Structure formats: structure tokens, C-alpha cells
């Protein structure tokens, strides 16, 4: 299922808009992409020299049961799109030597039709690896070549259409030591530098990020990430930024967030909030939603205060499509739009912080 021509070269109406057939067999489409509201979040962020984004997938989100509503809000409010799953290894590389770009291409087409940029997520991660890879019998050289080929193929495919990549995702444990993963167990810690070097060779213009969670404040893990990325930069591995996932529970934004962003920025790196959500105990209450709104404002304000923090991306935008309830039992309502796409207090706190 390797596609030599990207999906965004296809007729845009069939990628971005809901398509169907009339009685005479002709294709009918929805109107063209929405013009963003002057007072939407994306316009306010752009006025501050920032991008505001959300994660989405093709089938589950853009083509879901309420795809029209989802696409409408996504295009109106955001100017940066991260594929939630559609660019992960198992989705793009389901069999050895076989790449399937169909769904990821449709996300890029949607973004480009709506004047949004795309963050690629993610090239090298310890999860969502295909069975052909993890069950194989490989030498270290085999694994290195497979990883580099995957990176080269994917980054080349999206060259000029993906502005930045999460090259390596979650390589460290919470104690700051390297995570025992398929990649580390096969190659040792050198796999991180090898991955960045391969991505930089494939697209020297893309900004390459190390991305992780529980590194938003100053702690043992963020100290280790600091040492890791500092070494990568000194060795000229092509790293250009650090992504701070920011999956918080309510009242859990670390007080050292801005200070931490500043120290990474001082290395000459971009810093971005890449997967923001703020979960609350269910059922949510007016007070918990007010506290959630205050947490969103803290994150946006911290980014605005740091010159090298140029983007905040939420892991979705509507509670209808959030990953949180399936992973954190008893928690949810983590995003700025409710399940009916209504604007919650968190939306207005983001709005006011940007404005």
C-alpha cells in the first residue's frame, strides 16, 4: 500500500469534505473549508506570534459520526494539527517494506485546505510498534537500519508538508533513566541520536523535537531530558526543540513550568506544549471546571512569557473524543469543548489569555 503520490494531490473535496452520491450517480460535496472566525483561538494566537493546535485522527475524528461538527470546530479554532495515531509506526508501516499513508495524508490535506500547519507524531516510540518488527529476530545492525529507513521514508514522504516532527517520544523513565524498550534493548541509548540524525538528513528544514511527559516542571526526569538534549545539540544531531506533553490533572500544573521552559529555550531550542489536557474527577462540577480553566490559563500564559515557546497543542479539543476516560478511570472532561462542542470555561480562559 505504498503511495507514490501523496493523498493531498487528490481532489480536495473528497478528502476534506463529506462526500456522497446523488441519485444520478454524480458526486455531491459539502461547501469548501470554513473561513476561520476573526475571534477564534487561532486568530488570537497568530496575533501573539503563536500557533494553537489540536490532535485528531482521520477515521475516528474527521470521518466519525459527527465528522461535520468536528471538522468545523477544528478548522475554525486551530491552526496546527497533530495526528493522534495516524503517523505512528504501526499505522504507517504495517508490514516490512510496506507503507500505508492514506489516513495520514488525509489529515495533511485537511490541514493544508484550512491553512493549518502539521506536527508529525511520532517517528520512534516504544509503543504501537507492529508485530513484524517486535517479534522478529534481528541483529543490532538490522534494527538500526529498519529504524533509519522508516524515518527516512516517512520524513521524505511529508517533506515540505510537515513543519516539525516528534522524532523520539518518551525515551526516559520518570526517574530519569533510559526506558527499557525495543529500541533501547536493541541499540542502547545511541538510538536517540541515530534517529535525530536520520530525520535531519531526510528534511533539514523540519524542526525536530524530543517529546515526553512529566517533564513540565523542574524534576529528576526533566533534568535528565535537559542533559540528553543538550548533548544532542552539542553533537550536531539536528535537534531543534523539546515537546512538553502536559497531561495534567486539575490543580496539577507545576509552579516551575515557565522557569523550566526558559532553561530549555536558553539552549537555543524551541519549546512547545504538545499534548495538553487537564482531567477532572467525574462527574465534573462548576468548581472543578473553574479550576480546570485556571490551569489552562496558567499553561497558555507560561508559553506566552517564553519567546521560544511558539505553540500549544491540545490532545483533542472536545470531551466527546478524549482518550482520558479510557486510561484514567473516574477522570475525564479534560478538554475546552464539551461533548456537544459547547465552549467550556477552559475555552474562555484560553481565549482571554491569548487576547
CA nearest to 208, candidates 237, 165, 243, 170: 165
Tell me the pLDDT tens digit for each residue of 79-104. 999 999 999 999 999 999 999 999 99
- Alpha helices per DSSP H over 83-213: 89-92, 102-113, 131-134, 140-157, 182-187, 190-202
Q: Which class is domain 7-354?
A: alpha beta
Calculate the alpha carbon distances from 212 to 58, 93, 105, 275 in Å. Answer: 24, 23, 25, 10
As beta bridge partners, residue 29 has 19
112 catalytic? Reply is no
As beta bridge partners, residue 118 has 81
pLDDT at 39: 85
- Strand, coil or helix: what is 303? helix
**Following CA atoms 343, 82, 192, 129 in sequence, which dihedral angle do they give, to the nearest 10 degrees?**
100
Q: Which of 3-12, 16-25, 323-332, 335-344 has the lowest mean pLDDT?
A: 16-25
Residue 248 contacts residue 241 (beta carbons within 8 Å): no
Tell me the pLDDT tens digit for each residue of 201-216. 999 999 999 999 999 9
Better-scored residue on pLDDT, 35 or 236: 236
193 catalytic? Reply is no
The model's pTM:
0.90
Q: Which of 193, 272, 275, 321 is catalytic?
A: 275
Calculate the alpha carbon distances from 10 to 7, 35, 109 in Å. Answer: 5, 21, 9
Q: Is the peptide bond before 122 cis (omega within 30 degrees of 0)?
A: yes
What is the residue extent of each domain of the chain? 7-354
Residue 33 contacts residue 75 (beta carbons within 8 Å): yes
Q: Which of 170, 193, 272, 321 is catalytic?
A: 170
pLDDT at 354: 97
pLDDT at 33: 61
Tell me the pLDDT tens digit for each residue of 128-180. 999 999 999 999 999 999 999 999 999 999 999 999 999 999 999 999 999 99
Tell me the pLDDT tens digit for each residue of 109-131. 999 999 999 999 999 999 999 99
- Strand, coil or helix: what is 220? helix
User: Which residue has 484514567 as its cell numbers?
Assistant: 328
Amino acid at each position: 500500500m505504498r503511495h507514490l503520490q501523496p493523498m493531498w494531490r487528490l481532489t480536495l473535496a473528497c478528502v476534506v469534505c463529506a462526500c456522497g452520491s446523488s441519485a444520478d450517480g454524480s458526486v455531491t460535496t459539502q461547501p469548501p473549508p470554513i473561513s476561520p472566525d476573526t475571534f477564534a483561538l487561532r486568530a488570537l494566537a497568530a496575533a501573539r506570534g503563536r500557533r494553537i493546535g489540536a490532535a485528531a485522527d482521520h477515521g475516528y475524528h474527521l470521518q466519525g459520526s459527527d465528522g461535520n461538527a468536528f471538522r468545523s470546530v477544528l478548522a475554525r479554532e486551530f491552526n496546527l494539527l497533530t495526528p493522534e495515531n495516524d503517523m505512528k509506526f504501526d499505522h504507517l508501516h504495517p508490514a516490512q517494506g510496506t507503507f500505508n499513508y492514506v489516513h495520514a495524508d488525509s489529515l495533511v490535506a485537511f490541514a493544508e485546505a484550512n491553512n493549518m500547519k502539521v506536527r508529525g507524531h511520532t517517528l520512534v516510540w516504544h509503543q504501537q510498534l507492529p508485530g513484524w518488527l517486535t517479534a522478529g529476530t534481528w541483529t543490532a545492525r538490522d534494527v538500526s537500519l529498519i529504524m533509519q529507513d522508516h524515518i527516512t521514508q516517512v520524513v521524505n514522504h511529508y517533506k515540505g508538508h510537515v513543519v516539525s516532527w516528534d522524532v523520539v517520544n518518551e525515551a526516559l523513565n520518570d526517574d530519569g533513566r533510559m526506558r527499557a524498550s525495543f529500541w533501547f534493548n536493541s541499540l542502547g541509548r545511541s538510538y536517540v541520536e541515530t534517529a535525530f540524525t536520520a530525520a535531519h538528513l531526510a528534511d533539514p528544514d523540519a524542526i525536530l523535537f524530543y517529546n515526553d511527559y512529566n517533564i513540565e516542571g523542574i524534576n529528576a526526569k526533566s533534568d535528565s531530558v535537559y542533559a540528553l538534549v543538550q548533548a544532542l545539540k552539542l553533537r550536531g544531531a539536528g535537534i531543534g526543540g523539546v515537546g512538553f506533553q502536559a497531561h495534567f490533572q486539575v490543580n496539577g500544573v507545576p509552579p516551575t513550568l515557565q522557569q523550566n521552559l526558559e532553561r530549555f529555550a536558553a539552549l537555543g531550542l524551541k519549546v512547545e506544549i504538545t499534548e495538553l489536557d487537564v482531567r477532572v474527577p467525574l462527574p465534573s462540577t462548576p468548581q472543578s471546571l473553574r479550576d480546570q480553566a485556571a490551569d489552562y490559563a496558567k499553561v497558555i500564559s507560561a508559553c506566552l512569557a517564553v519567546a521560544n515557546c511558539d505553540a500549544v497543542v491540545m490532545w483533542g479539543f472536545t470531551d466527546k473524543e478524549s482518550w482520558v476516560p479510557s486510561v484514567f478511570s473516574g477522570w475525564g472532561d479534560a478538554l475546552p469543548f464539551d461533548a456537544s462542542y459547547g465552549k467550556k470555561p477552559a475555552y474562555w480562559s484560553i481565549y482571554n489569555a491569548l487576547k
